[in-house]
Amino acid sequence: MNRFDGPKEACGVFGVFGQPDAAKLAYFGLYALQHRGQESAGIVSSTGKAIYEHKGMGLVPEVFDEQTLNGLHGHMAIGHVRYSTTGSSIVKNAQPFVVSFGGTTLAIGHNGNLTNARKLRKKLERKGSIFQTTMDSEIILHLLARSFDAGVEEALVEAVSQIEGAYSCVLMTEDKLMAFRDPNGFRPLCLGMLNGAYIVASETCALDLVDARYVRDVEPGEILVIDKKGLQSIKPFPNRPHTFCIFEHIYFARPDSNIFGKNVYTIRKRLGQKLAQEYPIEADFVMPFPDSGNYAAIGYCHEMGLPLEMGVIRNHYVGRTFIQPAQSMRDFGVKVKLNPVKDILHQKRVIIVEDSIIRGTTSKMRIKTLRKAGAKEIHMVVSCPPHRFPCYYGIDFSTKGELIACQHTVEEVQTYIGLDSLCYLSLQGMLDATDGNENGFCLACFNGKYPIKPEDDVSKLCLEY
C-alpha cells in the first residue's frame, strides 16, 4: 500500500546525548524517520540545566526552520514524529510530551501502544492525577511522578513494571537521556555513537543519515540511562520470549534499515521470492504500485525470470492533502498520485506485487485505472497472509471492521478489487523469508494469537471520555 493510503505507522523516536547542537542532529534524525509518522513532529533539548521545546502539526520541515532550531539549545535532545494511535491528531497530543514537577522537567517520546492504558489511567485519576492529553504515553510520566523521590532510574523501573504492551521510548530530564523498550520488543530501537555522543533511534536509517555508527539494538526489556558519567544498562525484567512486530519487516520500516538484526530490503526481496515459489503465475511482466511492493516485486521477478516494469508512474510532488476533485473527476484522486502507462499495459498480463491489503478500497480504484489503460489480465500477489485481526500494539488497524480480509473470503476480496486472481503469501512462507519462527515474532494480525492480551476496549480514542 502507498504510505498515505495504507496502515499508518505508530511513531518514530530519536535521542542524542553529548553533541553540540543536539537539536539539529535530532532534526535530521527525524527527517530519516518521517515515514513512521507524518501528523506531528517535536524536539525537546537541554543544556543540562534548562529545557527547550518546539512541536507542531505537519511534516518535519513544516514544523522546524532555522530559527526554531537555533532556539533549541543544548548538548542533548529527544525528538518524535507521530501518527496518532492513541489520542486524536491535535497539537496538544504532539510529542515529546513535557511535564514539570518537584523541580524537575521530564520529556517523553513514545512509539507503540500500551494495552492496559485505560485501567492505569482510571487508577491514577482516582488517586488525583490530572491528565493534560488523551495519549497513553502520558500515563508513563504520571507513574514516574508517583515514585520520583527515589530517583529517576528507580522511578522508571517502577513505572515500566506497571505498564503493558508495546513501547520503545526516549525520555529526558535536564541532565539524563533514557531509552527503554518493552520486554516483548514489539517496536525496534537501536543505539549508535557519533564522535563520543550517544544516539538512539527507532531505525538504523536515522543513524546513517547523521553518520553515527550502529552499536547494537536496545534489548527488549532494557533501560539505558545516559548521562555525563556514560551509559548504564538496567534490566528489570526476567527474560521472556520476544515478539518482534513482523509487519515492520513487511511494510513499516525503511528498506535501508536493519531491524531485529536483519536488513529490511533483503527480507522484502525474500518475501517476493517465497511468493513466486508458492504462486508461479504466467504473465508478461511484474509490477509494484510504487513504493509499496517494490522490493518484494524484485524478489518475485528474480525467482521467476520475469521482467519488472513500472506500469504506473508516481507523482512525487503530491502533498498529503489536495483539494478533492468534483464527482465528475472521480478517478482524479488516484491518478494524481499514480498514473498508468498505457503503452506498457495495453493487452498485457500483469502481476502486481503488494505488501498488504487492509481496507481494499485503494486497490480497487487502482485496478480500475489499470483496466481502463488496457491491461488484459491482472493478478495480485501479496507478500504477507491476509490481515484478519486488529493490532493493539501501535498500528492503526485497531478494529475488525477496518480489515477487508476479516469480513470476506479471499475470493470475495478478489472479486471486490476486480482481479483475475489474488494470492497471499502463507504464514510459513513469511516466517521462512525472515529466518524466523512462530516464537520470535508477533503474528497476531494474521493468526489472532496475541502475545499480550489487550483490554476489552482498546481503540485509538479509548482514552477520550
444 binds ligand SF4 (CB under 6 A): yes
| Region 21-50 residues binding ligand SF4, contact defined as CB under 6 A | none
Q: Could you tell me the smallest distance in angstroms from the CB atom of residue 401 to ligand SF4? A: 16
- Nearer to ligand SF4 among residue 174 and residue 432 (C-beta): 432
- Nearer to ligand SF4 among residue 309 and residue 396 (C-beta): 396
> Which DSSP symbol is given to 165?
B
Q: Could you tell me the smallest distance in angstroms from the CB atom of residue 263 to ligand SF4? A: 19
Q: Could you tell me the smallest distance in angstroms from the CB atom of residue 193 to ligand SF4? A: 29
Cβ atoms of 360 and 420 within 8 Å: the answer is no
- Nearer to ligand SF4 among residue 286 and residue 442 (C-beta): 442
Give me the sheet containing 421-424, strands edge to edge: 285-288, 349-354, 377-382, 421-424
Residue of 442, 458, 462, 463 that binds ligand SF4 (CB under 6 A): 442
Q: How many CA atoms lie within 13 A of 290 on its CB side?
A: 14
Residue of 120, 246, 286, 422 that binds ligand SF4 (CB under 6 A): 246
Q: Is the peptide bond before 343 cis (omega within 30 degrees of 0)?
A: no
- Nearer to ligand SF4 among residue 15 and residue 394 (C-beta): 394
Q: Could you tell me the smallest distance in angstroms from the CB atom of residue 101 to ligand SF4? A: 32
Q: Could you tell me the smallest distance in angstroms from the CB atom of residue 341 to ligand SF4? A: 33
Q: Is the peptide bond before 96 cis (omega within 30 degrees of 0)?
A: yes
445 binds ligand SF4 (CB under 6 A): yes
Neighbour-count burial for 405-422, b at 16+ CB within 10 Å, e otherwise: bbeeeeeebbebbbbbeb
Site string for ligand SF4, 371-410 (x = CB under 6 A): --------------------x-x-x---------------
- 147-149-150-156 Cα dihedral, nearest 10 degrees: 40
Instruction: State the sign of the Cα–Cα–Cα–Cα dihedral 332, 334, 337, 342.
Output: negative
Site string for ligand SF4, 49-88 (x = CB under 6 A): ----------------------------------------
Q: Which helix (H) or strand (E) holds 382?
A: strand 377-382
Annotated catalytic residue 406: no
Q: How many CA atoms lie within 13 A of 378 on its CB side?
A: 25
Rounded Cα distance, 161 and 235, in Å: 11
347 Cβ contact partners less than 8 Å away, ≥ 6 residues apart: 374, 375, 376
Residues near ligand SF4 (CB under 6 A), total: 11
Q: Could you tell me the smallest distance in angstroms from the CB atom of residue 436 to ligand SF4? A: 12
Residue of 72, 245, 351, 367 that binds ligand SF4 (CB under 6 A): 245
- 140-243-95-80 Cα dihedral, nearest 10 degrees: 140
Q: Could you tell me the smallest distance in angstroms from the CB atom of residue 251 to ligand SF4? A: 8
- Nearer to ligand SF4 among residue 419 and residue 445 (C-beta): 445
Residue of 31, 247, 265, 300 that binds ligand SF4 (CB under 6 A): 247
Site string for ligand SF4, 148-187 (x = CB under 6 A): --------------------------------------x-
By CB neighbour count within 10 A (0-12 exposed, 13-18 middle, 19+ buried), where does 131 fall?
middle
Q: H helices of 359-426, where?
A: 361-372, 404-407, 410-417
- Nearer to ligand SF4 among residue 226 and residue 245 (C-beta): 245
- Nearer to ligand SF4 among residue 9 and residue 53 (C-beta): 9
Q: Could you tell me the smallest distance in angstroms from the CB atom of residue 417 to ligand SF4? A: 22
- Nearer to ligand SF4 among residue 32 and residue 445 (C-beta): 445
Rounded Cα distance, 25 and 427, in Å: 40
Please choose, from the candidates 178, 181, 204, the residue with its C-alpha nearest in 3D space to the C-alpha of residue 193: 204
Q: Which helix (H) or strand (E) holds 54?
A: strand 51-57
Region near ligand SF4 per CB under 6 A, out of 198-206, 320-328, 351-359, 436-444: 436-444
Catalytically active residues are 11
Q: Which residues bind ligand SF4 (CB under 6 A)?
A: 186, 245-247, 391, 393, 395, 442-445
